[in-house]
Amino acid sequence: MMSIDEIKSKLAFAAKVLRALPGEHVQGFMSSWPQSLIELEELQEPEAARNQYHPTPAEVSEMDRILEWLKPLSAFETKLVWRRANHVPWKLISEELGYHRSKLDEKYRIALIKIQTIVR
């Protein structure tokens, strides 16, 4: 059985691989407007650092397998687990989801235990 710490590290690995994948670009279309919305992840990690890591096909396959673990969770649990996998601070998650940090930690642990029962 996989430990909770191993599950956390696997989820962080999946988040890292997903961040390193190239963005979605539709060929032939472009906007002359500047991009105005900045994602929280972009603020935390500079562009140069994001582009230095290129995941291998095996790592992308592993990421896909890890992301399957999130399917049985509720939308709230998935959002919470994924935010923590991306190292978003508890304070920002608390403001976003509207719960106190201790309640979020409790829900986070429950979600990880659910994943642990799925993985076995």
User: What are the residue boundaries of the structural domains of the chain, listed by start?
Assistant: 4-20+40-119
**Is the Cβ–Cβ distance between 80 and 108 less than 8 Å?**
yes
Q: Three-class SS of residue 62?
A: helix
**Is the Cβ–Cβ distance between 50 and 39 less than 8 Å?**
no
**Is the Cβ–Cβ distance between 20 and 50 less than 8 Å?**
yes
Flag whether pLDDT at 59 surpasses 60.
yes
The structure tokens listed for 104 are 């979020």
Specify the higher pLDDT residue, 34 or 64.
64
Q: Which pLDDT value is given to residue 67? A: 97
Closest CA relative to residue 11, chosen from 74, 93, 75, 68: 68
How sure is the predictor about 80, in pLDDT bands with cuts at 50, 70 and 90? very high
**Is the Cβ–Cβ distance between 59 and 21 less than 8 Å?**
no
The structure tokens listed for 109 are 């642990």
DSSP label of 97: H
How sure is the predictor about 102, in pLDDT bands with cuts at 50, 70 and 90? very high
Specify the higher pLDDT residue, 1 or 104.
104
